[in-house]
């Protein structure tokens, strides 16, 4: 806890802003059922009720409370994006480390497979697969994670290639250490800083990608709250000068900016550079 406080104090104002925003989002997501006055899919009034009264941000196209939907939407969108990013890093990171450590035909096989997948535009590929397989949450997580793991593979392999040629890795091979021991004990600890920074960036891309799919109707499905679908469902209000559809869009943008501020700070800190005073 002390190290976290020290890190927060040492951080520039932009990173502090990012930390605060991320913390607030986590708290809202974790305690969504306690903080919201209504149920996630509960119809409480007529459609498009104005702000104020019993409805802080009015109601949506079906008469559901917008404030409640915003909180639950953050919980669903952020949670699914985090799980997807974790799976993408597990698959892509392990594959990249194996390719760099073994080399030879394994490196060529995995590299060409990733090249083929990356040659197809990600959005079109995802739309095609989700149209065929359906859009349940487990399928959504697996499909996006596999597509995004190709980017993680490229980075993990590039970082690991510089590590596996080091003397301590060669010494471990000469001692007869196995593949997984070398990856876990030698490669992973030295590859963590760039991978942690990439995790933040990948999370942003996955988060935006899921929101885009939901806006198109192939992401998180109703009645589950999601920021992307909330923008789509209430977009007609823009015509009448109502900014309600901008609330979920603003929530998406704010989290993306906050995560990028924290990632920039982490990259600067791990690079060994020092600010000039």
pLDDT in the model for residue 258: 94
Residue 116 has pLDDT above 80, yes or no: yes
Q: Where are the domains of the chain?
A: 78-270
**CATH fold label, 78-270:** MetI-like fold (1.10.3720)
DSSP designation for 19:
H
- Name the percent of the chain lying above pLDDT 70: 97
Residue 110 has pLDDT above 90, yes or no: yes
d(C-alpha 197, C-alpha 242), whole Å:
38
* CB count in 10 Å sphere of residue 104: 8
Query: Closest Cα to residue 47, out of 237, 249, 211, 232?
Result: 237
d(C-alpha 56, C-alpha 175), whole Å:
66
Query: Can you say how many angstroms the Cα of residue 95 is from the centroid of all Cα atoms in its chain?
Result: 20
9, two tokens = 């104090």
What are the phi and psi torsion angles at 55 (to 5°)? -130, 100
Counted residue by residue, the chain has a size of 277
Average pLDDT over residues 22-29: 93
User: Residue 64: helix, strand or coil by DSSP?
Assistant: strand
């Amino acid at each position: 806890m002390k190290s976290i406080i020290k890190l927060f104090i040492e951080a520039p104002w932009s990173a502090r802003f990012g930390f605060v925003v991320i913390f607030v989002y986590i708290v809202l997501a974790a305690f969504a059922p306690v903080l919201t006055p209504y149920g996630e899919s509960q119809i409480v009034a007529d459609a498009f009720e104005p702000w104020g009264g019993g409805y802080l941000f009015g109601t949506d196209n079906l008469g559901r409370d917008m404030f409640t939907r915003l909180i639950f939407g953050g919980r669903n969108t952020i949670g699914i994006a985090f799980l997807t990013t974790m799976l993408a890093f597990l698959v892509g990171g392990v594959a990249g480390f194996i390719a760099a450590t073994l080399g030879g035909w394994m490196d060529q096989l995995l590299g060409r497979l990733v090249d083929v997948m990356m040659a197809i535009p990600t959005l079109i590929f995802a739309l095609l697969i989700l149209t065929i397989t359906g859009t349940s949450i487990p399928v959504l997580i697996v499909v996006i994670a596999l597509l995004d793991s190709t980017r993680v593979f490229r980075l993990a392999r590039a970082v690991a290639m510089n590590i596996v040629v080091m003397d301590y890795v060669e010494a471990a091979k000469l001692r007869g250490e196995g593949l997984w021991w070398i990856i876990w004990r030698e490669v992973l600890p030295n590859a963590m800083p760039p991978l942690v920074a990439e995790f933040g960036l990948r999370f942003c891309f996955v988060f935006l990608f899921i929101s885009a799919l939901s806006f198109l109707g192939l992401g998180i499905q109703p009645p589950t709250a999601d920021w992307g679908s909330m923008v789509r469902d209430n977009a007609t209000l823009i015509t009448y000068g109502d900014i309600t559809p901008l609330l979920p869009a603003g929530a998406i943008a704010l989290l993306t900016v906050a995560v990028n501020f924290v990632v920039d700070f982490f990259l600067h800190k791990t690079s060994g550079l020092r600010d000039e005073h």
